[in-house]
């Protein structure tokens, strides 16, 4: 009915958060350079980029889902845009959003968290490897 609107709502929030995190990271980078501090290249993926992965999954995934809703006639190109609102099935629609919609957003976020966890572990391992090689030499 309108389950894809929940991931869209999450995508709006995460996009704003990602922009804020990115500007904070850029400020930190400028401060470090301004202080003439020696920056050690760690090769770690910035958190704003990791948030970008979640944004892409949420925005693009819900875009395809919106197309499916359009295909099934659940979304219409004219106001009020949702067939459920037009036919007075608002409570049913809200129920589906609260169950399927919330679960969709949660599962996408959970998968993203898993990817971020794996990437973080891999980066830590890669950071440690040169140190171990130096110790062994």
Which stretches of the chain bind another protein, using CB under 8 A? 3-4, 7, 53, 56-65, 67-68, 71, 99-100, 103-104, 107-108, 111
DSSP one-letter code for 61: H
Q: Based on CB atoms, which residue is closest to another protein, 32 or 57?
A: 57
- HSE on the CB side for 6, CA within 13 Å? 20
Are 77 and 68 a contacting pair, CB within 8 Å?
no
Token pair in block for residue 133: 């090689």
Are 2 and 104 a contacting pair, CB within 8 Å?
no
Min separation Cβ 30 and another protein, Å? 26
Q: Based on CB atoms, which residue is closest to another protein, 27 or 72?
A: 72
Q: Based on CB atoms, which residue is closest to another protein, 57 or 93?
A: 57
Q: How far apart are CA 22 and CA 27, in angstroms?
A: 9
Q: Based on CB atoms, which residue is closest to another protein, 24 or 72?
A: 72
Is the bond preceding residue 80 a cis peptide, omega within 30 degrees?
A: yes
Min separation Cβ 20 and another protein, Å? 21
Min separation Cβ 94 and another protein, Å? 15
Q: How far apart are CA 125 and CA 111, in angstroms?
A: 21
Min separation Cβ 124 and another protein, Å? 18
């Amino acid at each position: 009915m309108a389950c894809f609107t929940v991931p869209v709502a999450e995508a709006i929030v995460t996009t704003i958060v990602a922009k804020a995190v990115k500007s904070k990271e850029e400020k930190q980078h400028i401060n470090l350079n301004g202080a003439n501090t020696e920056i050690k290249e760690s090769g770690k993926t910035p958190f704003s980029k990791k948030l970008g992965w979640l944004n892409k999954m949420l925005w693009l995934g819900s875009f395809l889902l919106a197309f499916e809703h359009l295909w099934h006639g659940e979304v219409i190109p004219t106001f009020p845009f949702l067939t459920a609102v037009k036919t007075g099935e608002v409570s049913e629609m809200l129920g589906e959003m609260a169950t399927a919609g919330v679960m969709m957003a949660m599962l996408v976020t959970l998968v993203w968290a898993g990817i971020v966890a794996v990437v973080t572990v891999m980066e830590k391992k890669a950071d440690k490897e040169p140190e171990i090689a130096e110790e062994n030499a």
